[in-house]
Amino acid sequence: MIGVYKQSIQSIPCLIAVDVDKKDTALPSVVYFHGFTSAKEHNLPLAYLLAEKGYRVILPDSNYHGERQAEVSAIKRQVSFWNIVLQNVHELGLIKTYLDESGLLLNGQIGIAGTSMGGITTTAALTQYPWIKAAAVLMGSPKITMYAKTLVDSFRKTGNLPVTEDEIEQLYVELKKYDLSLQPDKLKDRPVLFWHGENDAVVPFDHSYTFYEEARKQYKDQERLHYVKEANRGHKVSRFAILETVKWFETYLEHE
C-alpha cells in the first residue's frame, strides 16, 4: 500500500509518497517540483505511480506556493519567479542532505523532475549537482537566460516592471551560472527526458527542442537524452507525459 506523509524537511513543507512497508528503508528517490501558482499536492498522481515502482517521492512546496504562500500579492510572486527557481535549486541540496543523513537514499540513486517552473528548476539543478542520476523536464526551458529576457520584455509591454534595469542585468548575470544551454557539458551523459506540448504558449517549445538537438550530439548513447513532443498540446501535462516520466525513471534510476 502506498502512503502519503506530510513532513517538513529543513523547514520545507513536503509530501512524501512511499510504500508504507518501506517508509523507513533506504530507497531510490525522486524529488518532483511543481509549477508556478501550483502546489505539491497537484503532483500526487505521478508520485503515486512512481511510489508503486519502489521509489520514495518527495514533493516540496516552492516559496510563495502551497503552505508557503503567505500573504503575497500576485505581482510580488510573479516578480519573484527566478528567485523561487534558484531557491528551489538550493533547497534540493538540503533535501538530498536530509536523505543521506537519515539513511533513506539507496546507493545515491536520486532523480529530479518537475513541471513548468519545476522543469526549469530541474534544468538549473543539473548545472549544480553532479549527483543527480536521472532527470525529467516537463514543459521546462533549459535556456533560462533567454526565457528571463522574454518574460522581462512581456512585462515591459504592459508597462509594469517593478524592478530597476540594474537589477535586471544582475539577474541575467546570476542566471547564466544556472543556464544549462550555456553549459551542456554539465549533463555528462546523464539520462534526461524532455516532454513538451508543441502548442505551449507559456514556455516556448523550441527552447527545449533546439537544446535537445544540439546536446544529444555530445552523448555517447543518444537514447539517454530523449525528447517526447505532443502535437496539439498546450501548457498542460498529459497522462501520456506522466506515464512516460514514470517509464523513464524505471529505466534509468535503480529500483527493485
| Residue owning grid cell 512546496 | 61
Residue 152: what pLDDT? 83
| Residue owning grid cell 505539491 | 40
Residue 36: what pLDDT? 95
Q: How many residues does the chain have?
A: 256
CB 130 within 8 A of CB 188: yes
- List the CATH code of the domain at 2-252: 3.40.50.1820
Tell me the CA distances in angstroms from 2 to 23, 40, 237, one per residue in order: 9, 17, 23
CB 198 within 8 A of CB 132: no
> Dihedral through CA 193, CA 188, CA 252, CA 35, nearest 10?
-40
Q: What is the mean pLDDT of the chain?
A: 94
CB 60 within 8 A of CB 91: yes
What is the mean predicted confidence (pLDDT) over 171-198? 96
Residue 77: what pLDDT? 80
Predicted confidence (pLDDT) per residue in 146-184, tens digit: 999 988 887 777 766 677 788 889 999 999 999 999 999
- Residues with Cβ within 8 Å of 149's Cβ and at least 6 positions away in sequence, in order, are 172
Residue 154: what pLDDT? 77
Candidates 67, 91, 105, 68; CA nearest to 254 is 105
Give yes or no for residue 89 having a pLDDT over 90: yes
CB 16 within 8 A of CB 56: yes
Q: How far is Cα 246 from Cα 232, in angstroms, rounded to an integer? A: 22
Q: How far is Cα 238 from Cα 50, in angstroms, rounded to an integer? A: 16
Coil, strand or helix at 97:
helix
| pTM given for the model | 0.95
| Residue owning grid cell 534540493 | 92
Predicted confidence (pLDDT) per residue in 5-50, tens digit: 999 999 999 999 999 999 999 999 999 999 999 999 999 999 999 9
- Residues with Cβ within 8 Å of 206's Cβ and at least 6 positions away in sequence, in order, are none
Give yes or no for residue 255 having a pLDDT over 80: no
